[in-house]
Chains A and B, each alone.
Chain A
Amino acid sequence: MRFSFSDEQEEFRLVLRRFLAGKSPTTEVRRQMATEQGFDREAWRKLNQEMGLTAVHIPETYGGQGFGDVELGIVMEEAGRALVCAPLLASVLAATAILHGANEEQKRRLLPAIATGDKIATFAFTEANGRWDAGGVAMTATPAGGKFRLDGTKSFVLDGCAADLIVVAARKPGTNGDDGLSLFAVPSDAKELERKPLQVLDPTRKLARLTFNGVEAELIGEEGKAAAAFARTLTLATVYLASEMVGGAERLREDALAYAKMRMQFGRPIAAFQSMKHKQADMLVEVELAKSAAYYAAAAAAEGDDDLPALASLAKAAASDAYMQTAIHAIQIHGGIGFTFDNDTHLWFKRAKASEVFLGDAHHHRELMMRHWNV
């Protein structure tokens, strides 16, 4: 398996990093996170088109750039680093679900607008039970004159209030687990769809609760046969999120290091104290290990490795622990100022906390990994 970045990929990362540093300074993050939608639609459309962010892993036939999971991993990592306020993860998840679950005609129809960012899409799969697997899907889909009607509630939906297109997981009444699972497409202006913004701990990423009272929906792919696409989408989502998380963790680590070198106490920089050095060294170890796990998982995804579900979970577990621990250390290294709202550290701390549990916490993923490896 190829497990190193090519020169082109490194170049892409550099360009993107510079670009996002310009577009998403924390003044901008703070401005956007204070708005109801959490991002600026027009700014996002432009940003997305200039750098082709949501288009990266969408094949060219569907209006995308035709790159793979490694490139998307780079995009996510850099977005996490810059804490970009945008419906990027939401749109990527929806596109991934469509790529793996839809028929050819649907892909041609639905994907181009997601690739250009003209349409914001999201994937609504989790419900109030907070489960991250097919078994957690209780929403029902009943056939109605060639279409379907959806009943139930989705929660924790990424950018659920801003999305134009919602890809929904639902099941045939009376089925459970992988059985009877289907994917659907619902436009945001569908009748009987109620969207409620949720109050979130991490203001840089908005979540919504969507209530479906007999909402008319278009079936994506074949009825009752979405289990594999659903599982695949979740696995890839896990890889993308882990990539985003290691980007954020590294940024926290670097900012804390810069602060420690500058801040004086007892007549010298606090970076001179051994306990600060050890903390920094431990952070470096943890973040670099988590980065390796995320890179390996992205490479495995790109190559279609059968082991991917385990590798994705491994990467997410490592990223969850590393991001949170780095965030805790970063605040600690800043001292009192690290606990203020004006200091930027908490912005990443909150993203780390939300990402820790989104798609399942470290403990959940360690268990998935063990099961996949038949331990």
Chain B
Amino acid sequence: MSERTEASVRAEVRAWLEANWNAELSLVEWRGKLADAGWGMPTWPKKWHGQDLPQALAPVVEEEFKRIGAVGTAKAGIRLLAAATILDHGTDMHKEKFLRRILTGEDTWCQLFSEPGSGSDLAGAMTRAEMRGNKWVVNGQKVWTTSAHKADWGLLLARTDWDAPKHQGLSYFILDMRQPGVVAQPLRQMNGHASFNQVFITDAEIAPEFQMGKLGEGWKVATTTLMHERRNADGLRSWATGSTRQGRIYDEERAEIATVMEPYKWYPQRAGRVDLIVERAKATGRNTDPVVRQEIARLLTMSKAAEWTARRARAAQEQGRAQGPEGSLGKLVSSHVARQAARVHTMISGADAMLSGEDGPLNGVIAEILISVPATSIAGGTDEIQRNIISERVLGMPKEPSFDTGKPFRDVPKNTVA
């Protein structure tokens, strides 16, 4: 096949869309077509629902979708982390069973990593998986599990060996969430939403073929999931808001956003809603205050530079060059952006920042930003952990002395209150 260019890809995708796009199809039927043709995730391998398209040409596909208002594959939430992990570490069976249903949105996923006793220290997980007969039997508790109450499948990190040092005793599983041994209880957050859960796992069962990666190598697989999560941190900013267009498929998409995707409703607010800043400043007249102007400019500078840093990282990846340090910064920078955005929203709103709900600016959206932003520097690995990763792995600074990696996990001091 000849070299693909921007023009050739544009022509190709446009022709395909013109032949296939139909707003009266059902959402699942349409996404199934996308998964089969590879235009939903064009950078994925051809063998697995993709087009092997270089990253640099992906925006062309997006533009063509936008041009005619075509709906894309299901992208929001944990499901793409699941897909990325499965693509890297899964067996062909996993890929066949899960990838297509991820893209069509038929399956929803959650990430069962954090526990009451181990959050930053994920490798300290105490949930245990034991082989009984021909099945894995799982017992333990997970917490802060986003969307667990909606999920069909969970990415589970569990301990399979208590005598090995902590990183070596973990294994990675795909857990069927729809079984009696798995109970998800939504936890209320400070912003009033209840998108994360505590998950009680009691004698839940997993078939051996639903283990991913080798026994005792769960940490390696988990690292892949985490890397994708941190890379995509800035992607949260722009996740699906339903189209206002008419047609069955749009109705179904809106319904999906209102139900399965409901836990993510506040995610744009948690990123700070930089997109609202300039208009709010103009509407309130605060754009004439030189101090406010400076703070807005500082925010826009930070947020633009962050966007371009992410692009630089993608471009390097695309051109097959080793990624520079720019690839490790996005998660930390997104916290800075969110916090500065909250500051600026407060300055712009003045006294109105005290009001919420219908009485608050933008019908409560500003208040929701102010009380959601603190999640950004915690979820997906705290700022402190990001700084540790950057300083130790990217900058090669000496590691903190470790107190718990050299010995059997059962001898490591643990939280007594859980």
Contacts and interface: CB of A to CB of B under 8 A. Distances in A.
Partners in one complex: yes
A354 to B, nearest CB: 5
A200 B196 CA distance: 24
Contacts of B414: 264
Contacts of B347: 361, 363
Contact of B356 (A201, A264, A273, A343): A201
A194 interface: no
B358 A338 contact: no
Interface in A131-157: 132, 155-156
A282 to B, nearest CB: 13
B417 to A, nearest CB: 7
Nearest to B415: A264
B313 interface: no
Interface stretch (A221-229, A234-242, A328-336): A328-336
Interface stretch (B60-68, B183-191, B212-220, B298-306): B183-191
B359 A339 contact: no
Contacts of A273: 384, 400
A361 B346 contact: yes
Given A267-B413, A332-B378, A363-B347, A200 B355 contact: yes
Contacts of A358: 351, 354
A356 B346 contact: yes
Contacts of B117: 264
Contacts of B354: 156, 200-202, 207, 353-354, 357-358
Interface in B344-373: 346-347, 349-360, 364, 367, 370-371
Contact of A199 (B124, B353, B360, B375): B360
Interface in B99-121: 114, 117-121
Interface of A: 126, 130, 132, 155-156, 198-202, 207, 262-268, 270, 273, 275-276, 328, 331-332, 335-336, 338-343, 345-346, 349-350, 353-354, 356-358, 361, 363, 367
B377 interface: yes
A146 B254 CA distance: 62
A328 B374 contact: yes
B356 A200 contact: yes
B284 to A, nearest CB: 9
B252 interface: no
24 contacts: A199-B357, A199-B360, A201-B360, A263-B415, A264-B413, A265-B118, A265-B121, A266-B121, A268-B403, A276-B384, A328-B339, A332-B378, A332-B384, A336-B378, A339-B378, A340-B188, A341-B192, A346-B190, A349-B190, A357-B346, A357-B349, A357-B353, A357-B354, A361-B346
Contacts of B292: 363
Interface string B406-418: 0000001111010
Interface in B291-314: 291-292
B318 interface: no
Nearest to B366: A201
A136 to B, nearest CB: 10
A346 to B, nearest CB: 4
A179 B384 CA distance: 54
Nearest to B416: A264
Interface string B173-213: 00000000000000111101000100000000000000000
A340 B187 contact: yes
Given A200-B359, A267-B412, 5 more contacts: A155-B351, A199-B356, A267-B404, A357-B354, A363-B291
B382 interface: yes
A264 B358 CA distance: 41
Which of A270, A353, A358 lies at the interface centre, i.e. has the most chain B CB atoms within 10 A of its CB? A353
Contact of A130 (B352, B371, B413): B352
B387 interface: yes
